[in-house]
Amino acid sequence: MDKRIFIIIGTIIALLFALIQLSSKQEVVDSSNTVKKESINDISQLPKTLNKHKEVINSESSVIKNITVQDDYELINVCGLSLDLFLEKFDLINLESLNGNIGESVVGDCEKWFNDLQTLSQDELKKLELDFESKKELLTKFISFKYDKDTIAESRESVYSPDYDIKLLALVYLLRYDYAFNKEVARNMDIADIGYLVSGNNVILETLYTCKHGKNCSANGSFMKEFCEDEDVPCGVSYQSWLISSGEITINLYDDMMRAVVAIENVLSSNWMTEHPLDI
């Protein structure tokens, strides 16, 4: 359950370190010698099985895409902002060891991505890079799962972000480490504690909140389209419907979580944050 839930939220956490893990040069070792791979300097040099998208992409009419860190964070994280660096990254990977469908999907998505990037000016590209680094740094703090008052202060601000990735992880951090906020949410629900709703790696409550505040969790939404790639999850249902029908949580627990969502909304829309500043 825990593993799938983290996959659900857009693979944000898993992808945060994708570029870091591939940042240093590696060597390919055969049965008897260590040899350096020949450099890849063009996307067409990638294996043909990973390059079938190319003719289709080149034949499509160009459509100017509105590129933002909020909408394209995962693409920036996986593909980067430089075609040369992307090709260099694949130069360091033993492509034959990759699952064919995964490798093919990555190359196809990134090829489209670099076509879209060509529509940006240098200033726009630089701003995109700065926005990406800022978001990555912020999300890294929120998934540290270490108590830190400065990070609590940042999560209190970020929970109002229009970016649902930031909003989600800010709320995850807030509910686990801002004990005063946690207690106020419980008070709004007229219960003693909400620990049973946010224990461990369970982020269902926070996901339900962001489903109401930015994330499209409907049956045809992008969130569920990614989610149903898991063979255990049917397509064509909303996240809320799946939670109940799958038995992932009980009806009573679902009702408690929806009450908690309303309580969180009440606290965040009130003056509570202003009236209860952190003592840093």
Pairing mode, if any, of strands 28-29 and 34-35? antiparallel
Amino acid identity for residue 14 in this structure: A
Whole-structure pTM value? 0.69
Kindly state whether residue 224 falls inside one of the protein's structural domains. yes
Q: Note down the domain range covering 265.
A: 148-275
152 and 102, same structural domain? no
Instruction: Please compute Rg for the chain using Cα positions.
Output: 22
Do both 108 and 190 map to the same domain?
A: no
The residue among 126, 161, 190 that closes a domain is: 126
What pLDDT score was predicted for residue 104?
59
pLDDT at 152: 95
Answer whether residue 172 is part of any domain.
yes
Which of 58, 93, 126 delimits the end of a domain?
126
Give the model's pLDDT for residue 85.
80
* Same domain for 106 and 165: no
Q: What is the pLDDT of residue 90?
A: 64
C-alpha to C-alpha distance for 249 and 175, rounded to whole angstroms: 19
Residue 29: the pLDDT is 32
Asked, for residue 132, whether it belongs to a domain, the answer is no
Q: Is residue 187 part of a domain?
A: yes
DSSP, collapsed to helix, strand or coil, labels residue 41 as coil
pLDDT at 161 over 70: yes
Q: Are residues 153 and 253 located together in one domain of the fold?
A: yes
Question: Is residue 111 in a domain?
Answer: yes
Is the CB of residue 254 less than 8 Å from the CB of residue 244? yes
Instruction: List the one residue out of 172, 181, 170 whose CA is nearest residue 199.
Output: 172
Domain contains 7: no
Q: What is the pLDDT of residue 277?
A: 92
Q: Are residues 155 and 75 in the same domain?
A: no
Same domain for 184 and 233?
yes
Residues 160, 269 within the same domain:
yes
Average pLDDT over residues 162-187: 92
Q: Give the span between the Cα atoms of 173 and 154, in whole angstroms.
A: 10
Question: Does residue 84 share a domain with residue 187?
Answer: no
Number of domains in the chain: 2
Distance between CA atoms of residues 234 and 33, nearest Å = 47
